[in-house]
Amino acid sequence: MRFLAILLGIWVGMGQVCATPGQGHVDRDSLGLELTHAKSETEKAVLINGSTTQLPDHALLSALGLSWEAHKLIQDSLNLQGSGAAYNYWSVVLMLQNKYAYALEAALQAKDLLLKDKDERELSRTYINLGEIYKLKGEYGNAMEYQSQALRLCKQINDTIGMSLSYNNIGDIYSINKSYKLALENYRQALQLAQLVNNRFSNISNYADIARVWQTIGKTAEALDYYLAALELGQKQGNTDKTSEVQSYVAELYAVRDEPQKALGYLELAIALASGSKNLHNQMMVYYQAAVVYIRLGRDYQAINMAQKSIDMAKSAGNKSVVRDASQLLFELYLKRKDLEQTSFFQNQFALYRDSLLVEARKQDFAQKETLFELDLEKRENELLRKDKELREAKLEQSSYLILAVASILVSLCVIFWFLYQQNRQEHRNNAHLLELNQELINSKDEIKVLNDNLEQRITERTDELWLAVETLTTRNLELQEFSYILSHNIRLPISQMTGLINLCRMDSANSPVSPEMLDHLEKASGDLNQVVGDLNETLIVRRKVEHFAEFTSIPEILAQVLRLLNDEIVHTRAKVDCYFTGGETINAVKCYIDSIIYNLISNAIKYRSPKRRATVTFRTERTGGWLCLVVTDNGLGIDLANIDPYKIFGLYQRMHTHVEGKGLGLYMVKAQVEAMKGRIEVRSELDEGSEFRVYLPFLPE
């Protein structure tokens, strides 16, 4: 615990490094030079208090002297920023001197000043300091409250060292109250944070604290691991004081485990290190711990020697609690040896120091209560004065606001009254005019209503007629555009040929009869014209409404009929045709259209086969949502879709390949028939790999 108090002093000291155990003085020349450059009394106080944290534990009297100098400077600079930090330094030194009442008073002063300055970092240190003081006084509720506040504030400002110290102090409080599980959790948090910033001082203390908890609850193996880790760190950084103290705990642990040789080994190392230390507190604690271990090992003579040494040092240091505890050990040892004289002496000494500590504790508690009462009384008086001043100022301000508000209200009322008067006069004039207008409106209302009703009915009827005419004209216009294109491009050629042949006949009729060759040409032109007219007739038939021609049709039967029609071509080309009906075998559609669609798609797949491989055609059905899809896939020539106009695929008299016979009418008819049945057709193709045509038709179950 005392080691953590020193750590707190070092941390409060703005990161100044604690001196080694052999260093018993402060470089006053260097301190004097810094004081000459200080810009304020508060800055001087901070420098002096920072010097106190460089003193080792056994030089607390020197630290107290330096801090008193700083405290006198603080009295002259209470209103200067930074005096809160100086008060905090002062409270740390008082705490190390066991002057808890005065330490608490200084820390509370520091808190009030730092809250005004809004110095969050220094305020978090003060909260930790207050928690430590309350813990040492045994007021664990207040201690936990301040440590929790310190932890929250350190998290806000991301102060890792401060968080580590807060977690360690919270662990101490839980350990003292025998909540060992919570104590371990907080010690581990403290250790983890200390390791993040490589704070070796805190690491040693955290390892030792965790080990003490494990030892208390009987987990000696776990305790030993943490003790050894603390020893390793202490030896690496050369901290002989903490190392010797931990070695004495390890010796006690081995004594409890009934391993006397190891216990004696660690105990001798601890005594040897403590003997060479100038830290009186460390020597005293190690010797006392050694006496406890020797008693466990049954070595009463060595126990008496160590206990006596610890009593001598405790008297020199003024530590009455160690004198009391060591006297109790010697009383029990001499009672065991039946040395009545020594037994009586140490019994009386134990009772004397026990009663003295109780009296001091009561005095300290009374002094603290008296101090706190005075502070509370002063705060209450100041608070009453502040509230009285605020009340007078509030009343004065309220009176000013009231006068201003009354004046504003009077002016506003005057303006409102004048405005209302003018508005009232205008409303009278407007009302008279409105009455005249209203009478005129009443007279014409019935006439307008009758006209309006008739007009709405006529407009509705006329609008319906116009929309119907627009839709009819739009449809007719589209049909006329398509037929004009066909007539202008497809009928012109056979007519031109026939006209030319007739002219030739007229020219040659006088000299010679019509030749057979000319008649053949005329017959061919006439046949072409007849074919174009027939094609136009078919397209017209397809575009008629076909809903009343739909029926449930068997797809396998239609496919079988198509394959019979194409049998010669399939045998001749050695084509392979596969059929699958996974999506369904019947569809509600126009049977002749389904027949034509399947025939054209399979016929084209065979016709435009690739010479590089045997033709393979696959027909299958699929279900996709509310659609039945007819899919025809081949491995033929394929189409370069990326470089071709989509119209050329399904357009009238459009062809992709000209090396085989065809008119360019098949896919056009397929698309027209599919759309007439409210479906759609899609094509997927790669050049020299094949094509896939997908016909989507509405699916209606039987």
CATH code, domain with 621: 3.30.565.10
Q: Which amino acid is at 453?
A: D
pLDDT tens digits along 240-292 = 777 888 888 888 888 888 888 888 888 888 888 888 877 777 788 888 888 88
CATH code, domain with 329: 1.25.40.10
pLDDT tens digits along 135-186 = 877 788 888 999 999 999 999 989 888 888 889 889 988 988 888 889 989 9
CA-to-CA distance for 579 and 563, rounded, in angstroms?
11
Q: What 3-state DSSP class applies to 80? A: coil
The pLDDT of residue 19 is 31
CA-to-CA distance for 349 and 315, rounded, in angstroms?
12
CA nearest 172: which of 217, 223, 210, 229? 210
- Residues above pLDDT 70, as percent of the chain: 72
In a domain, 254, yes or no: yes
- Which whole number is the average pLDDT over 234-238? 75
The DSSP code sequence of 330-352 is HHHHHHHHT-HHHHHHHHHHHHH
Alpha helices in 567-620 (DSSP H): 567-573, 591-607
The pLDDT of residue 621 is 95
Give residue 669's domain range.
Answer: 548-698
CA-to-CA distance for 367 and 293, rounded, in angstroms?
38
pLDDT tens digits along 198-226 = 766 667 788 888 888 888 888 888 888 88
In a domain, 597, yes or no: yes
In a domain, 649, yes or no: yes
In a domain, 636, yes or no: yes
The pLDDT of residue 236 is 77
Q: Which span out of 18-27, 38-47, 441-450, 515-524 was modeled with the highest average pLDDT? A: 441-450
Put simply, whether the predicted model's pTM sits higher than 0.85 gets the answer: no
User: Which of residues 338, 353, 379 is at a domain's end?
Assistant: 338
Contact 165, 128 (CB under 8 A): yes
In a domain, 583, yes or no: yes
Domain tally, the chain: 2
User: Which of residues 311, 338, 365 is at a domain's end?
Assistant: 338
CA-to-CA distance for 28 and 59, rounded, in angstroms?
15
CA triple 245-7-278, angle to 5 deg? 45
On the question of pLDDT at 580 being above 70, the answer is yes
User: Which of residues 338, 368, 391 is at a domain's end?
Assistant: 338
Residue recorded with tokens 């508060």: 42
The structure tokens listed for 24 are 């018993």
Alpha carbon dihedral 56, 61, 64, 68, in 10-degree steps, equals: -140
In a domain, 222, yes or no: no
In a domain, 23, yes or no: no
In DSSP terms, which residues pair with 627 in a beta bridge? 624, 698
In a domain, 202, yes or no: no
The pLDDT of residue 133 is 87
Per the prediction, the chain carries an average pLDDT of 77
The structure tokens listed for 622 are 């699929």
- Which of 7-11, 366-370, 587-591, 648-652 is predicted least confidently? 7-11
Stretch (H or E) spanning 692: strand 690-698
Q: Which amino acid is at 520?
A: D
pLDDT tens digits along 5-50 = 444 454 444 333 333 333 333 444 444 545 455 555 445 555 555 4
